[in-house]
Amino acid sequence: MAWLQLNRRARLSWDDVKRGIRWADATAFEQSVIRFCHAWLNGADSFLLQTSGSTGAPKTIVASRKQMIASVERSQNAIGFRAGETALLALHPDYVAGKMMLARCLYAGLSVAAAEPTSNPLRSLAPDTPIDFVALVPLQLQTILESEDALRLERIRNLLIGGADVSEAVRARLTRFENNIYLTYGMTETLTHIALQRLNVPTPARVFTTLPNIGISTDDRGCLVAEAEYFPAGRVTTNDLIEIVSSTRFVWLGRWDNVINTGGLKVIPERLEPTIQKVFDQLDCGHRFFVAGLPHDRLGEEVTLWVEGQQWPAEEQLRLIRELEQRLGRFEVPRTIRFVDRFAETENQKVNRRQTISAAVSPPTP
């Protein structure tokens, strides 16, 4: 019989959760899990979904139970999670990824081990807890791969990675894994993932394949327009630049709102970042980074590399630029490097580029 376990507390039956349960010392995460599961089990017909705010102002979306079930069924057909398995909830259910993990488990009959979202949620579980299905963000995946829990990761039958791309180094490490590891594409407006990309294959193709009955096209900017009858708005126009391969396959290029217009040329940061990551790996540099534009009097914008951590010595910065000059085009090489002690993050651990840049370039409040 399926069960729910929160942060190593005693396991609860779904009947217990349906009747209602409260703990005086419950964390915000635990309260959110119980609140969603209680509402679902008691037949709630609509749910509020909150966007993360990583690419714009946070907003609330109303999704019906029927729409969420339609998303779950497509996901189950594509991935193959099944009744009797155990899923790890490692994402906060205040956001769509966490809510939809719970919806999949409740609808399909999976047990849930819920662990407070951390960089390594496996460390929060009892060693003998079997996990068959989990969704993680790239930061969690990378942290686990660098720990002794990497072997445990290989025993998880279905693994979803969402929220951002993963580095070439991580992709290379995953090729030896024999389980099912997918990079997902989706958002709150599409009720989580609508396309999957298999990560652990010998020669990873950066092509997403849509779930059944998802229509894709592009607008005049080259951004993805997705359509499905179960989307809350029916049709979703994104800010994601894509290249359509076929009616069911596409390549994600980057964010339209991240494009840098430098000297009349358009540079997509996400196209540069895998190359920069290779150089960081070569230099044995584990710092997080991203590329963005900053205003420039002559060029309009200049390509800027943002690095998390203390400022490097001038000779190390010069060495990095010299390496990048060998691999990037003339107008793609960062003209400046900006260092930030710690990147701003959204509630679900995505790097918030806009907030990081705003905090760095705005004068401090007196």
pLDDT at 79: 95
Give the max Cα distance, the chain. Answer: 67
Q: Does residue 223 sit within a domain? A: no
Residue finishing a domain among 211, 233, 249: 211
CB–CB of 3/111 below 8 Å? yes
Q: Does residue 145 sit within a domain? A: yes
- Which domain, by its residues, includes 191? 3-211
- Rounded Cα distance between 161 and 181, Å, is 8
- 76-112 pLDDT tens trace: 999 999 999 999 999 999 999 999 999 999 999 999 9
pLDDT at 42: 97
pLDDT higher for 226 or 203?
Answer: 226
- 154-163 pLDDT tens trace: 999 999 999 8
Mean pLDDT for all residues in the chain: 92
Residue from 253, 249, 219, 220 nearest 236 by CA = 219
Give yes or no: residues 264 and 192 share one domain: no
As a whole number, mean pLDDT of residues 115-138 equals 92
Give yes or no: residues 264 and 144 share one domain: no
pTM of the model: 0.87
pLDDT at 54: 53
Q: Which of 11-15, 200-204, 283-287, 334-338 has the lowest mean pLDDT?
A: 200-204
Structure tokens at 182: 């997918």
Give yes or no: residues 324 and 190 share one domain: no
As a whole number, mean pLDDT of residues 194-203 equals 88
- Is 202 a residue whose pLDDT tops 80? no
CATH of the domain at 272: 3.30.300.30
Q: Which of 143-147, 150-154, 168-172, 319-323 has the lowest mean pLDDT?
A: 168-172
Number of domains composing the chain: 2
- 226-235 pLDDT tens trace: 999 999 999 9
Give yes or no: residues 207 and 264 share one domain: no
What letter represents residue 87's amino acid? A
The pLDDT-based confidence of 286 (bands split at 50, 70, 90) is confident
Q: Does residue 244 sit within a domain? A: no
Residue finishing a domain among 174, 193, 211: 211
Residue-by-residue DSSP string for 172-195 = HHHTT--SEEEEEEEEGGGTEEEE
Q: Does residue 146 sit within a domain? A: yes
Residue-by-residue DSSP string for 297-324 = TTTEEEEEEEEESSPPPHHHHHHHHHHH
Give yes or no: residues 174 and 295 share one domain: no
Give yes or no: residues 200 and 290 share one domain: no
pLDDT higher for 166 or 87?
Answer: 87
- 36-70 pLDDT tens trace: 999 999 999 999 998 765 555 678 899 999 999 99
Q: Which secondary structure element, helix H or strand E, spans residue 358, and what is its range?
A: helix 353-361
- Rounded Cα distance between 77 and 56, Å, is 32
- b/e per residue, 213-226, with b = 16+ CB within 10 A? ebebebeeeebbeb
- 329-360 pLDDT tens trace: 989 999 999 999 999 987 766 788 989 998 88
Q: Does residue 217 sit within a domain? A: no
CATH of the domain at 46: 3.40.50.12780
Give yes or no: residues 83 and 167 share one domain: yes
Q: What percent of the chain has pLDDT over 70?
A: 96
Give yes or no: residues 69 and 202 share one domain: yes
Q: Which of 19-23, 97-101, 201-205, 227-231 has the lowest mean pLDDT?
A: 201-205
Q: Does residue 352 sit within a domain? A: yes
Residue from 50, 53, 46 nearest 68 by CA = 46
Q: Does residue 99 sit within a domain? A: yes
Give yes or no: residues 48 and 152 share one domain: yes
Give yes or no: residues 61 and 148 share one domain: yes
Give yes or no: residues 264 and 207 share one domain: no
As a whole number, mean pLDDT of residues 7-36 equals 94
Give yes or no: residues 201 and 331 share one domain: no
Q: Does residue 219 sit within a domain? A: no
